[in-house]
Structure formats: C-alpha cells, structure tokens
Structure 1
Amino acid sequence: MTVWSLPGGAVLERSRHEGYAAVAALARCAASEGFGAQIPAFTEAQPYYPATLHLMALVAQATTYPRCVPI
C-alpha cells in the first residue's frame, strides 16, 4: 500500500507488508494475458489486515485465476 500527498502526488510512505503486495501482484496478473504472478509467500509476521488480504488474494488466485499461480 502506498500513501500519497494530495497536492503534488509525492509518495509519503509504502507498506512493507506482504499482504498488500499479494493483492497488487494478483491484480497485475489478472489484468494481463501472462502466466504466473509474483505473489509473495505468506508470512504470519504481518498485522491482521494485510495478512487477511494476503489469504484472500491466495483464495482468489486458486479459485478464479489459476493461471496466476505464485512464482
């Protein structure tokens, strides 16, 4: 997840949690014609919300986007 400044659009901060990266990777793959997604491995060392997003991204990948298998 990225936080921007509204006037000017400067990046203020980026999250290091894998859950946000998993959602972004799945979205990139789903929007493309490619095979495989750079979904990071799940780790329990992230807060509840990004961890839940991560698990939901993995469920969505397995049930809806099988071509977006994590690589």
Structure 2
Amino acid sequence: MRVDVDRDRCCGAGMCALEAPEVFDQDETDGLVVVLLTEPPDTLDDVVRSAAEQCPSGAVRLRE
C-alpha cells in the first residue's frame, strides 16, 4: 500500500496521527498532516485504512 496526502485539503484534525502514529504526524507549524512512511509495512494496513476513513476532509488517499 502507498499513502498519499493532499495537504491543501487537510484541515488539521489529527485523526490520522491519532489512529496511526507510526505513519502520520502533524506539522508543528501549521498542524497539517505529515506522512512518515509512504509505504508502511503490511502489518499496519488495518490502522492505515482506518486513519484514511476517519479523515474528515478526505486528505488521506491509499493506493494498493
């Protein structure tokens, strides 16, 4: 799986970072999403999918 984000669409809610802190963080300056792992290990698939589903702005996109 590959993780892509649209920072222009991000509203800084932080749901992704709460759900999958191994993969997502928030920028200290503007609070927007930062991807730590663009290709996380398969063991994180479930939490990464959950993080994408919980994103209120739809800024997190996954490619299989």
**TM-score normalised to structure 2 length:** 0.35
Structure with greater proportional strand content: 2
Q: Name the structure where helix makes up a greater proportion of residues.
A: 1
Which structure has the larger Rg? 1
Larger relative CO (CA 8 A, sep 6+): 1 or 2?
2
Normalising by structure 1, we get a TM-score of 0.33
